Structure 1
Amino acid sequence: MNDTECLYTLITGASTGLGKAFAEECASRKMNLILISLPNENLDKLCEKLKQTYQIKVQCKETDLTNLETVVDFANWVTQNFTVNILINNAGIGGTQGFADSEIGYLDNMIQLNIRAMTLLTRILLPELKKLNSSYILNVSSLAAFSPVPYKTIYPATKAFVHHFTRGLEAELEDSNVSVSVLNPGPIMTNADVSTRINGQSSYVKLSIMTPAQIATIALGKMLKGKSVIIPGIMNRINAFFIRLVTENFRISVGTRIFKREKKNSDENTDNRSKQSSWKQSGKKTIAR
């Protein structure tokens, strides 16, 4: 397979949520796509839909970017077979839980995906991006990058890395043809679990919520205009301003109240699902008898 004559946009974490919204937004702009997701996420169905709907070229790859060899092999496959002019590092892991309650594997996967995969993909593809007349890198961070966040701990730390890495790389490439942007969205209404957690928050927090499609449209437009830091939504820009304005201790105190409540809601929903599952299993056994 070798298609180096066409330009492609590479999007990681493309099967659901913001990554899927990016894929749909790019496809609507007639961009050819290389999409990557974890295995068994039905990425091929999305690819086929985008091909048929927008009459573009779409390549799909389901693989685990938390594995070092996989990241390197995938990146080399891309550079050897395609010409990528836009790299969107979207793949990431988040969640709300106490650090002491977190599984080691969960924490390690978050670090490897949010930090290492993004860094290495950028490094391996950068020489190819620099050969083009114009190219773009968009790394997805978060508003959480601007402050420590209790009950998330590792997540904002990884997103702070993404933010600072991107700003530093932007400065290095200032005189090049590569435009580098970082996206710092607030809460995103992506799936049922996230929606449930968000709905348990205060009215003020809910004002910041945006859909993946809204964020993807804003982010892509600003990226193509060369915007360095992209914070979609007026409420999120206000939040970012106040985050920088107040002391770190105050931010931690507020974050503790917000995310302790979110963790409680998440735990209660997990307990309710477990009870419902047990009830259904019990009911099935009764019927079987």
Structure 2
Amino acid sequence: MKDPGCLYTLITGASTGLGKAFAEECAGRKMNLILISLPNENLEVLCEKLRQTYQIKVHCRETDLTELDTVLEIADWVTTNFTVNMLINNAGIGGTQIFVDSEIDYLDNMIQLNIRAMTLLTRTLLPELKKLNSSYILNVSSLAAFSPVPYKTIYPATKAFVHHFTRGLEAELLDSNVSVSVLNPGPIMTNADVSTRINGQSFYVKLSIMTPKQIATIAIGKMLKGKSVIIPGIMNQINAFFIRLVTENFRISVGTRIFKREKKNCDESTDNRSKQPSWKQPDKKTIAS
């Protein structure tokens, strides 16, 4: 039976990158945690480290949130056993591919994880969040939400959904005890594949790069202060301003040049890896960030 006096923060996509940084930031603030990740992510290792380091309660589940039944099962498990006062919808999939060359499963998984899982977790946990004196929802979007992006196509569309969904929900809950925020980060240095893509970009783009720890610290601090839209980093705030200032056609033209270059870097990186002996091949699973 759950203890209503013991509050938890639920974080999805918590094993690596920004999700892991969220877990460490919240643990440092003495928040009890429920962490969700993809299967076979060794999440329990992180959980035990957080328990020992910060003397908090941490519960973990490794599961695939692209499956509808799994999302509903996780929601039921959480609401039955825990009192959650903070929901951080972080799990998501991104990447750079030509749309017509993209695998159907890749596109479907991106839509189901970035949109459906976030939406349904929010819907199922919201009645419980509203019962508390104060509670928080933080949905992770992206600067890409503010413009169409060639060679990414589906990803910015899903992040635009996250952004607009969050702003609309915030308005609905304005007079309630639930604070709703959306995080729109720029490029994040998370793993080797992302590093390869970013390092092939211009000097200006590189100025916008932030670490997961930097973003998590800013995001949690501003969320707790009730900030609606959180854009971490001065360069990303400048980028967001100019994205909204120029025409959509101009944004698409610039995005085509940037991400066509990124796609080329990804292809060259893949070609180089394919020439390595099999024992040097990196793990090809998609990272939820």
**TM-score between the two structures when normalised by the length of structure 1:** 0.96
Counterpart-to-counterpart distance in 2, 1:13 and 1:89? 8
Percent same amino acid at aligned positions?
Answer: 90
**In structure 2, how many angstroms separate the alpha carbons of the residues matched to 1:178 and 1:197?**
37
SS where residue 276 of structure 1 aligns?
Answer: coil
Q: CA deviation at 1:3?
A: 3.9
For 1:34 and 1:280, locate their aligned partners in 2 and report how far apart those are by CA, in whole Å: 34
1:109 equivalent to 2:94? Answer no
Question: Cα offset for 1:276?
Answer: 1.2
How far the C-alpha of 1:2 sits from its partner, in A, is 3.4
Q: What amino acid is the match of 1:87?
A: L
How many Å separate the matches in 2 of 1:226 and 1:166?
13
SS at structure 1 position matched to 2:174:
coil
Contact 1:4 1:81 in 2 (8 A): no
- Show structure 2 runs of 5+ residues with no match: 282-289
Provide the C-alpha distance between the structure 2 equivalents of 1:261 and 1:242, rounded to a whole number of angstroms. Answer: 21
Post-superposition shift, 1:196?
Answer: 1.0
Structure 2 match to 1:284 = none
Structure 2 distance, partners of 1:257, 1:104, is 25
Unaligned 5+ segments in structure 1 are 282-289
Q: Is the 8 A contact 2:90 2:140 kept in 1?
A: yes
Post-superposition shift, 1:249? Answer: 0.4
Return closer, same or farther for 1:278/1:43 CA change in 2, 3 Å cut-off.
closer
User: Does residue 236 of the first structure (1) align with residue 231 of the second (2)?
Assistant: no
**Count of aligned positions:** 281
In the other structure, the counterpart of 1:44 is 44
How large is the RMSD of aligned CA atoms in angstroms? 1.2
Which structure has the greater CA radius of gyration? 1
2:226 is the counterpart of 1:226: yes
- CA offsets 1:22-53 (integer angstroms, 9 cap, x no match): 00000000000000000000000000000000
Q: Which amino acid aligns with 1:209?
A: I
Is the counterpart of residue 74 in structure 1 residue 74 in structure 2? yes
Aligned partner of residue 21 in structure 1, secondary structure: helix
**TM-score normalised by L of structure 2:** 0.96
Letter in 1 for 2:211: T
Report deviation, 1:279. 9.7
Partner amino acid, structure 1, of 2:243: I
Match of 1:88 in 2: 88
Q: Within the alignment, does 1:64 sit opposite 2:64 as a pair?
A: yes
Which runs of at least 4 in structure 1 moved beyond 4 Å after TM superposition?
278-281
CA deviation string 1:166-203 (max 9, x = no partner): 00000000000000000000000000111111000000
State the 1:280 CA deviation: 7.1
User: What is residue 196 of structure 1 aligned with on the other side?
Assistant: 196
**How far 1:132 sits from its partner (Å)?**
0.3
Amino acid at match of 2:69: E
CA separation in 1, counterparts of 2:22 and 2:279? 39
**Distance verdict in 2 for CA 1:57–1:258, change over 3 Å:** same
Instruction: State the AA in 1 paired with 2:166.
Output: T
Post-superposition shift, 1:5? 2.9
* TM-fit CA distance, 1:125: 0.2
Equivalent residues of 2:2, 2:83 under 8 A apart: no
